[in-house]
Amino acid sequence: MLPKLVITDIDGVWTDGGMYYDETGNEFKKFNTSDSAGVIFCKKLNIPVAIITGENAKSAKARANKLKIEFFFAGITDKLACANDLCGKLGLTLNEIAFIGDDLTDIALLQKVGLSACPSNASEYVKNICKWNLPVPGGQGAFRAFIERILLENDKLDEVISSFMN
DSSP codes of every residue in 2-46: --SEEEE--TTTTS-S--EE-TT--EE----TTHHHHHHHHHHTT
Spatial separation of the C-alpha atoms in residues 99 and 30, rounded to whole Å:
21
Instruction: Say what the pLDDT of residue 166 is.
Output: 63
Q: Using a pLDDT cut of 70, give the percent of the chain over it.
A: 99
Instruction: Say what the pLDDT of residue 28 is.
Output: 87
Spatial separation of the C-alpha atoms in residues 25 and 6, rounded to whole Å:
33
Residue 57: name the closest of 17, 98, 90, 115 by CA.
Answer: 17
Tally of domains in the chain: 1
Are 79 and 105 contacting, i.e. CB atoms less than 8 angstroms apart?
yes
Instruction: Say what the pLDDT of residue 64 is.
Output: 97
Query: Mean pLDDT throughout 66-71?
Result: 97
pLDDT exceeds cutoff 80 at 79: yes
Comparison of pLDDT for 20 and 116, the residue scoring more? 116
What domain range includes position 85? 5-162
Give me the chain's average pLDDT, please.
Answer: 96
Spatial separation of the C-alpha atoms in residues 27 and 4, rounded to whole Å:
34
pLDDT exceeds cutoff 70 at 118: yes
**pTM tops 0.85:** yes
Q: Which helix (H) or strand (E) holds 49?
A: strand 49-52
pLDDT exceeds cutoff 90 at 158: yes
- The CATH number assigned to the domain holding 20 equals 3.40.50.1000
